[in-house]
Amino acid sequence: MPFSNPNFRRSTLVFTLLFLGVLITDQNIKRLFLEGLFYEGECLSFTLALNKGVAFSMFAFLGPYLKWIQTFLLLGIFIYIIWQRYLQRYPVALALILASGISNVYDRFMHGGVVDYVYWHCGFEFAIFNLADVLIDIGVVMMIYLLWREERQKGECDD
């Protein structure tokens, strides 16, 4: 019975608290920019931009279909995570990825595009991004590292 397992309860609690924390924090930061927060710096600016596509505005041509495609992708990923019991093994990485993904998709439904606001322009022009984008990247790197470490440990046990 998974609910009686202390590790399951702990990982579920960690996932839930971090998931909610990321979602609430990201949406509140975005609200500041939607309400007019702006800063122009020498290398870094904070300015509102609605991204109708994904990274670097790719797939913007999909228009309103993109939010539905991303919604079904996130739902499929969540079902797969539950089915494979990955939530118990990787609660932090998955909370970062899923909460950030949901926050960005929420933006699409509520604002017509993802609310981006961090703009790096020192030495080269870089894309405008947001906290959720950074947390997705961190979550993916964590997952890659954890999976690599598990495989390495498995290989050591097989020797």
Report the catalytic residues. 116, 133
Provide the phi-psi class of 54: left if phi over 0, else alpha when psi is between -120 and 50, else beta.
beta
Q: Would you say 43 and 120 are in contact if contact means Cβ atoms under 8 Å apart? A: yes
Structure tokens at 143: 């997952």
